[in-house]
Structure 1
Amino acid sequence: MDWRDWRSWPARITRLWRSSLQFRTVTITVALSGFAIALVGVYVSVSVGNDLFQSRLGQVELDSNRATAAAQGILDASDASDRVQVQSLLGSARSSISAASSSRIIAVFRVPGQDPSTAAPQDFSTFGESTSVISDELRGSVQGEPGKQFWQSVTLATDDGGEVPGIVVGSQLTVPVAGRYELYIGYNLGEAEATLFFVQRTLLFAGLILILLIGAVTWIVVRFVVTPIRVAAETSQRLASGDLGVRIPEKGADVIATLAKSFNGMADSLQSQIKELADLSEVQQRFVSDVSHELRTPLTTIRLAGDLLYDQRATFPPATGRTAELLHTQVERFELLLSDLLEISKYDAGSVDLETEPTNLVHLAEDAIDGLRSLAESKGTQLDLVAPGGHLDAEVDPRRIRRIMHNLIGNAIEHGEGKPIVVSVDSNATAVALSVRDYGLGMSQTDIGHVFDRFWRADPSRKRTIGGTGLGLSIALEDAAVHGGWLQVWSSPGKGSCFRLTLPRTAHGALTASPSPLPPDDAGIDTRDTGAARIVTGGHHA
């Protein structure tokens, strides 16, 4: 993974989230744990900050009250009467405040609104640039209620130009001769803030370490749980792909081991049943093949005798001549049925080999039409061949494709009700398609779902005119599939039917689309109207 390609991270993380149960579990656990730890950390930080502030505030109020009382005691014990004495007395009071309190930030302001006095000393402040932090609200409270103490949270400026949190406590002093003065003492809370920051850093570091530990523990625990599940998933995939001998290793006696035992038991049962079905299918295929082969010898003898009788039918009485004709017809149909059964048994056994060669489907279609033209004329059916495509050669087995065409055109003649039949061959660079379109009765939705079933007939009472066996479309479907092609049908009652064979132009080529439309262009329906007609591919609705 290229970490510099950061634009692809979201897509990769999304794929990892979808594909990895372990990643999802660890991510969710870490996220929820981190959220819980963050809530606890915020609560602890706020609680510690409030406790530090309240503890420091209590100390500040006691310290300020003690310093104010000491200064007032000095002022009350003095008999100063002139400005110099009062100034000296107030200096002693400030020294007493500094000695009695832990702060050197002091401000003394004469309460406004008093009578002017020449003995009143000037205001004094060591707040420096922080004098403005003494708000009008605090001064109003101190001025309005003598004898009480008030405080306010502020931000104090330090000597190095920085800022620290602080508290300003205000009260009143009564100075002899000069009157009432406001006393403000500022306390620096920098140490409490540093303590709070230390606690917060400790909580943050401990929280990160805890989240990493939780993630690591979760990863290890989930790995122990997910690994057997992953093994079970891989085993089931191999089992589904046909590897029936694969099993899950059984270790221990926990629930995972129980799952492995149950899965292996199911696989054993499935393997046994599949083997039984395979053996039964093989027996059935061998039986059909053996019977078909064994019947050929007596059938050949019957055929020779039947041909002899058929050739001499003119010399027989009428009833005997008719019997010879029926015998000849049924022997031909029996022989065709045996050939079809042998062909079906080869497909069922998977022993079909193609003999491909470059073949022009137009020529095959012409040969098939010529071979069935006499049957079409007897039905009053006109056969037309349309070949607009430019790539008409394909690598196919001509014998099997000729058989498909013969079957499709013969069925169209039989069910076309004497109406014209259009055989179309079209192609593109990758595929070639043959369509047989008739305008007969068509089929219902139920019928076209079974059109490729073996021995199925749309109308069992309808007489066959071309000696079919009921296996033609099934064999045609297998012939198309072994070429990697499609055999599809569209039909609608009263509008006829259209069978379309699509083949890749090269052996082992892949099909993506057919060059011939289905439903046909002259169907006269909306192709989205599934209630009017359906397209069926290989016996499955498409």
Structure 2
Amino acid sequence: MLRLMREWFGINKSIFRKLLLSYMVTVLLGLGALGLSMSVLAKNYIYNGTKEELLRKAKKVNLAIQDYPVQADQTTAMLAFLDQTFDTRIWVFDQQGRIISTSTQDEVFIGKSVARSIVEQVMEGKDVVQNLRFEGLSKPMMSVVVPWGQKDKVFGGIVLHAPVEGIEETVGNMREMILWATLLGILLSTAMVSYLSWTISRPLKRIDDVALQIERGNYSQRAVVESQDEIGDLARTINRMAGTLELVEAERADFEQTRQDFLANVSHELRTPLTAMQGFLEALQDGLVVDEASRQKYYDVMYKEVMHMNRLVNDLLELVRLEKHEVNLVKRPIDMDSFLRRIVFMFKEEAAKRNLELRLDMTAPLPGIIADPHRIEQIFINLVGNALKFTEQGSITLRARERDGGIGVTVEDTGIGISEHDLEFIWDRFFKVDRVRSRKETGTGLGLAIVKELVTLHQGTITVKSKAGEGTAFTVWLPAETKAEQS
């Protein structure tokens, strides 16, 4: 409970208090204005009702005494009777405003005068309503004055009094009831507003906690807010942002790991030939190699190591340019029949030296393609060269077929194959599956990465199937030349 209170009035104090105070002030002002309006309206209603009732009674009194002589006993008796009937005091005054009769015998107002302004209005046939205070009356009264007489003949006026105290007490009771109702409304409104404020501030607190975790680098955090309002939209936006940041962080980590692996691989690839050349140069400098034949052998080895480093640097630059899309293809129509025959012819002699059979299996005529001849040649030279390197006996077959609106060319060998574990990594830079192969063949480990980039650049695809000890088959699919391109 203490923790909840701390959350209410501690961390959430700003928005919670603002909402609570704003709602409370609004409710208080609204209920206060409503109570005041009801009080005024009720008071006016009671006063108006009392006034109308007094006027109606006064006119009945006039009907009852308009035929009686002035100050006759019948008049006094009738006024006393009407006093008891209407529960109100009755005075009668003459044309000069002097009170000549009252409804009670013990009153001392006979002979006193009513205000001249009232007398003048009554003599003109008008009704008068006022809150009057007379000498001898301890309490204020509501008084109505009507003409006394018949038609145009006015003898004076009739005054009816009603105590204002009862009206004020009734209005006071109503105001008290309105006040209690207002207080009850404020309590209920406070509870409702507190709950409403809590339903707003609590999910915002959750979002704030998640944002704090994201700031600290914990991108796996998510805000659990299921409402379908603006706060729910904010939570979902925060969650999408966290997901994006988590993905970016994962990509950054992968990139950093790739960068470290790249530097390690480059360092390894350069260190090996440099170490060999350093050893040979030191032997030559120290005069350890005396005969010319041995020196030429050392020179030959160093030359090969230099050429290996040169290929490594060239392949690196080529791959970087491909990945940055800085390679411009010079496309033109290529006759795949003659192109594949030329590739086979290029490697025929090397295959013979290795006692391998190099075959071409294609269904002529093949459709032409629009591509960069130099880059397409680079793709197949790399694939056929790899097949020759890692095939110790058997054959290498180039199989070409028209397929799916293009040409599928498969380079298949009967070599030592690639393990299932290594298959997913063969497109990575510097990855060499020859760790389990013959150590006589060396390479930069960049060839297949370059091949994949070149195939993608031509809107083609490349796939591989292999099994350790049974051979490997790389299949390159390239889109065929369209009729629009032919025209």
TM range (shorter): 0.3 to 0.5
Relative to the length of structure 1, the TM-score reads 0.39
Structure exhibiting the larger radius of gyration computed from Cα positions = 2
